[in-house]
Amino acid sequence: MVRSLIIGCGHYLPEKVVTNHDLSAVLDTSHEWIVERTGIHKRHFAADGELTSDLATAAAWDALKSAGLTPQDIDLIIVATVTPDQTFPSTATIVQSKLGCRGLAFDVSAACSGYILALSTADHYLRLGSMKRALIIGAETFSRIIDPQDRKTYVLFGDGAGAVILRAENNPGNRGILSTSMHSDGSYRDLLYTDGGPSLTGTAGYIRMLGREVFKHAITKLVDSALETLAHKNIAAEELDWLVPHQANIRIIEAIAERLNLSPDRVVITVAEHANTSAASIPLALCKGVSDGRIQPGHLILHEAIGGGFVWGSALIRW
Ligand SMILES: CC(C)(COP(=O)(O)OP(=O)(O)OC[C@H]1O[C@@H](n2cnc3c(N)ncnc32)[C@H](O)[C@@H]1OP(=O)(O)O)[C@@H](O)C(=O)NCCC(=O)NCCS
């Protein structure tokens, strides 16, 4: 039986840090409001001229180093992003050229759930035997699509990139990606979207969101998705070592952990440090948990995320 193993992870956060206090100097908001409603303390913004592909490439090099591989070892690159450098070519092909390698490279667009979609897509390629080693990157420059006049969204997002390397393994034992589930329902597309696009306006547009509605759907859909993914493998939520969720809002994360009966010390939380980095947030949190030694070989990890569309899903992994 072939399974996909995660054999390395990497991250990159732009140098510029923007605190809640910085934002309250230019917007009608406060550090206290942002922390109480979201758990966010600061975020990173890319420098002028620093592109999504730059963030993605830096995270990719970090992941390659941790896996002990070179770009030539990779035959599949998938970048999850909704803030590509250009409408086309895909950011993945730009990363491919920056790394100097060949194979197949493409982007997936599923907003905040993009990383799990990219992971599950690569997992299918690897298990079918057509690819051997995949580089999966979640990378975003949301600072370019948040409206500086809109306090309801501007305070919530940041820039960053996280990456993992997957290897197809013939005798994985009990390790690897055990199960994934993805769903979408376009009837919710007016709850979280950008008000522009190449075909609609010829611009990228700004994020628009009905926060309360998104909040409610996020909790119910993500709990259902987590239980579905666990049920595929007949595993109870209590058996999880770590929930490594999408980092949008501390209250959403805590509500999901509570419904899954997981204590807060089994959840990797990074939202305070870099806000919602969309597709980058799960690999950033994963890297944090691995590098600080919390996530150990044999641990059972659950990822979950929801994003504009809605598209949502989860992935169960034995590290
Ligand atoms: C966005 C979010 C934090 C707002 O929290 P909320 O408790 O729902 O707050 P509301 O939008 O109802 O706004 C409450 C009040 O705070 C105000 N407010 C909104 N943003 C504010 C800000 N940055 N600073 C200060 N006040 C703010 C609102 O104007 C409103 O004031 P009013 O009562 O006078 O009209 C919350 O809805 C949320 O996290 N939603 C999910 C968002 C998300 O995770 N999206 C990404 C999914 S991938």
Write out pLDDT tens, residues 41-95: 999 999 999 999 999 999 999 999 999 999 999 999 999 999 999 999 999 999 9
Show Cβ contacts of residue 259 under 8 Å, excluding neighbours closer than 6 positions.
219, 223
Q: Is ligand 1 within 6 A of the CB of residue 215?
A: yes
Give the domain ranges of the chain: 3-169, 176-318
* Cα 152 to ligand 1 centroid, rounded to whole Å: 5
Does 31 sit in the ligand 1 pocket, CB within 6 Å?
A: no
| Distance between CA atoms of residues 81 and 108, nearest Å | 7
Known catalytic residue at 276:
yes
- pLDDT value for 275: 98
Task: Specify the pLDDT at position 18.
Answer: 98
Which spans in 248-309 are helix H? Answer: 250-259, 271-274, 281-291
Catalytic hit among 112, 249, 274, 287: 112
> What span, in angstroms and rounded, lies between the C-alpha atoms of 171 and 183?
30
Task: List the catalytic residue out of 246, 249, 287, 303.
Answer: 246
Architecture of domain 176-318: 3-Layer(aba) Sandwich (3.40)
Q: Do 176-318 and 3-169 have the same topology in CATH?
A: yes
Query: Which residue CA neighbors atom 46 of ligand 1 most closely?
Result: 248
Span 25-35, average pLDDT: 97
pLDDT tens digits, residue range 8-25?
999 999 999 999 999 999
Domain 3-169 sits in CATH 3.40.47.10:
yes
What pLDDT shows up at residue 26?
Answer: 94
